[in-house]
Structure formats: C-alpha cells, structure tokens
Structure 1
Amino acid sequence: MVNKVPFSIRNRVMKYPLWFLVIALMLAVSSSSGFCDSGSVKPDAGKSQADTPVLPSATTQAEKAISQVMMDKLSNAVGSEYVIGAEDVLDITVWRNPDLSRQVQVRPDGRISMPIIRDVVAVGKTPTKLAEEMTNKLKEYVQNPVVAVTLKEVNSSNIFLLGEVAHPGKYPLKSKTTLLQGITMAGGFKETAARNQIVIFRFTETAPGMKRFTASYDDIVLRSGISDNFELKPGDTLVVPSESMVVFPGR
C-alpha cells in the first residue's frame, strides 16, 4: 500500500517556489565550505606590526585561479606586446586590494608612482612585464598579490624633433620611421644646423633614465653609415644643435 503524503505537508511545500529552494541549497553549500580569510600585509624586518597597515589579499587557490583569468583577459584585450611609453595612461588593478589599485599616467621620466612600492619604471616594458615586476615587489608586503596592468590611453606613439629643423615639434609615429625620415617630417635642416652632431635621447628598459645616441648626417649619406640611420622608437627625442653651439664640451 502506497503511503500518501499528508495534505498539510504538501500544502506547506507548495507554498515555497523553486527559487526559494535553490537559494536555500546555495546557502547550505556556502556555509559548509566556509568563508575565505583575508590576508594581511607582511611586516618588514625591524618594523612593528602596529606600524604596518592591514590589507586584504587573495589567499585561496580558487581566488588565485579567478585572478589569473582576470589578468589574462585584460592582457589579451590590451595587447600584451605593446610597449609602454611616456604619457600613456595605465589602469593598475591589485586583486582584492582597492587601496593599492589606481589609474596613473607615465611621467616624462618613464616612471609611475604607486602606494607602498613607490616609483616603478614603466617605459620600455609591456603591460604583462610591468604587472609581473609589480607583483614581485608587492610580495614583500601583501600575501599572494595579483596585479593586472591595462592600457587606458595611448599617448606615447610620438617622436619629438627639436633644434635646428624647419618645423620642430611633436610628430606621430604611425609606422617604421628612420632617423632621416624623422628629420624629413620636420621639414629638414636649417642652414645653421650642425647636421653631423645629431643627438637622440631614448628611454630603455635595461638602464634607468634615458640613453643617448649620436648620429652624423654625412656618415649616413656620404660614407655609407647605414647603421646610423636607425629606426626611431615611440618617445624618442631627436635634437639637431646649432653650429654655433658647444653642445657637449669635451666630447
């Protein structure tokens, strides 16, 4: 004989819609798995923990996996091979640490300023490379940090042509451009130009600050100095001094 469910019980069950039962099941699962603990900033040696601010961080394997997916998507969206230049605007996201996340513009000296780790060289690096370096720096202070760098604005695809050229100023770098082509963009040399003392300043990833190159127009054109007619990079500053100037004494 089949036992029938009492009408009173059936009536109580039917009062609760399906979505209510689903929510109840989700709450039961989450309560059994527990909540994730937030991490804290690691104290430096010789510093008291009272002097070090407490910041949350991703500590579980699940959070790390989610964070990695987020970082990969951001890198793919921006183009991880893009090389950051001066005046570019970057979105720096430190996963689960809003106090450490911010939007910054790369300064003319090629650096950005961030909380805790302070100045970081950004020029000459890809967003992925910069994110890796910032992650390593933050490990001293935050447990399991995950950093994503997103390119917000591209302002660095320019070169600067100064000195004794017809039209000095800032010029967009839309394709591969050699030194001579850059000078042509600025209208060529003035009569007073010291065309054999051309100076190029460039940010590099390996060395702090700017690297200085010199080139000679006569060597390139008259003496087959093809190697001196090198390709200009975003952010390069090309200076053509005057013949009457002593630009670099003792050179």
Structure 2
Amino acid sequence: MKALKILWLVTLTFIVGCSSQATGRAGVPQPSSYPATSKEYRIQPGDQLDIKLFYNPELNEQLTVRSDGRITLQLVNDVVAAGLTPAELTAFLNKAYAGELENPKVAVIVRTSVADKVYVDGEVNRAGLVTLTGPTTVLQSISQAGGIKESAKADQVIVLRRIDDGTMAGIELNLEQALHGADASQDIFLQPNDIVYVPKSTISNVNTWIDLYIRKNIPLPIGLGYSL
C-alpha cells in the first residue's frame, strides 16, 4: 500500500510539472459537475499499456509505465512514455524499431489509465485508489474507501488538486456540515487525480501541511522537476 501511495503521488507530481506552490481554497474553482475534457489523453506513470507489433507478434508487450515515466521494451530498451499521447508513442516506436526490424507496424493501446482515479488517504477504513465511474463527490469517494473512522476530523477534509496554472492547491472542506445537511456545497465533485485526505487532528496551516504531506510521501529528489 505504501508503494502504491508513492506511485500515485509521483504520478500526480508528474502531471503537475515544475510548479507546486500551494494555495488556499479561495484560489480553486469549485466544480459543480464532473469535468469534461477535449484534450488528447497523455500517458502517465501507472498506466498499463499494450504494445503490439503487427508483423512481429513475438515482440508484443503488456506493461506498466514506471514511476520515472519509462517503459522497457525488447530491442529498443528504455523509452520515455509518460507525457506522450498514444499516437506520439506509436510514431516514436515505429522509428525506434525501424533500426531493428524491416517493416515495423506498432500499435499502442492504453489498457488501463490512472487518470480516472482519485486517492483517498488518512482516517478512512481502506485508504487507496478509488475509480471514478461518473460524477463522484468527496463523500462518495470516502464511502468507497470504507467510510471514515471514529477518529476522523470530518470538519477539515483536504482535497489536493492541480489547478489551471499547473500549481497544487488545497481545498478545505467541512464534511460535517454536508453530512448533517447544513451545507451540501461542502461535498464537492472530484476531478481525476485529486487526493482526498481525512485528518485525525486540526491542520493549523493548510499550505504548510500540503508541503509536508508531499515531502513525507514522495522520496526527494524524484527527478521530475518538483519544487516545494
């Protein structure tokens, strides 16, 4: 589970890129519906890929993109896959295999993606990845993670999210109000790659806590240009 958490946080860090200045809740848009995207999908660490060669099926591979963003293939060795679209990786592999094969015809298929998941952590019964199968709120994701423990401080749940300028932001939520029907707006809809954290005690400074949480769970330096 610890290794899975590290991989997920590294994946999120890869998506965030070079900038990660934490901001307060005021700087984060509150989504009212499940976000749609028209951007072409880019491969991420943790994705499972099928690499198929039409004329050379003995070289077919099914593998997972490592936390460093690379995959290892026969004949061409290590290849950076994360950050590329499937079409871009296909074009690159066709060129790479051309030096070894007479007529390579490569197909890249994303079998499973981490992009439709969130990570639920802290005072929940089953911390880990939760798959978004449609519009999913924070409380629904916590329910899928086995619910909150009696020790949870539900009035200060934090959602970590990448915002439009590429920075990491923390959304502070009072789920006690949502649970008791006082303020349903506290139970926001999640976006792919969000991290939901249910604390055990009061977090006095959310921005400082975000930095400490990232440092604790990602061994630094990780070689992905992440700066705190």
TM-score range, shorter chain: 0.3 to 0.5
So what's the TM-score if we normalise by structure 1?
0.43
With the length of structure 2 as denominator, give the TM-score of the two structures: 0.46
**Highest RCO, 1 vs 2 (Cα 8 Å, sep ≥ 6):** 2
Larger radius of gyration: 1
